[in-house]
Amino acid sequence: MLISTKIKVGLGIAGLGVLGLMSPVYAGDLNWSADTPISVGGQSLTIRSGSEATNMVVGTSTLTVTVASGDSFTLASSERKAFVTSPNIDGTCTSSENAITVTGANTVVITPQGTVCVRAVAVVGGGGSTPAPAPTAPAPTPTPTTKPAPAPTSTTTSAPAPTQTPAAPVDRAAQLTAILEEAKSISGVSKELPKAIEKGVLTLEEKLSVLEVKPTEVVLKVIEKVVPETVTRATAAVATKFIADGTPTTMQLGAGERAGVVNSYKAAFGSLPTNEAEWQDVVKIANGRFPSQTNAESEKRAELSFKTIYNRAPNRKSPNDDAAVVVMAYGLRTATRNMQSESAAIKSYKAIFKRAPVAATAWDAVRAIAYSGAKR
Instruction: Please tell me whether residue 51 adopts helix, strand or coil conformation.
Output: coil
Residue 13 DSSP symbol: H
Q: Which residues of 261-277 are buried (b: 16+ CB within 10 A; e: fewer)?
A: bbbbbbbbbeebbbeee
pLDDT of residue 94: 74
**Residues forming beta bridges with residue 75, ordered by sequence position:** 47, 100
Q: Is the preceding peptide bond at 87 cis, omega within 30 degrees of 0?
A: yes
Q: What contacts 181, CB < 8 A, 6 or more positions away?
A: none
pLDDT of residue 198: 52
Counting runs of H as helices and runs of E as strands, what totals does the chain give?
11, 10
pLDDT of residue 235: 84
Please state, in angstroms and rounded to a whole number, the distance separating the CA atoms of residues 289 and 124: 7
Q: How much is the mean pLDDT over the chain?
A: 75
Please state, in angstroms and rounded to a whole number, the distance separating the CA atoms of residues 103 and 276: 37
pLDDT of residue 313: 95
pTM of the predicted structure, to 2 decimals: 0.54
pLDDT of residue 105: 81
pLDDT of residue 36: 92
Residues of the chain with pLDDT under 70: 1-28, 95, 117-170, 190-222, 229
pLDDT of residue 203: 63
Quickly count: other Cβ atoms within 10 Å of residue 60's Cβ.
9
pLDDT of residue 22: 40
pLDDT of residue 190: 64
pLDDT of residue 204: 57
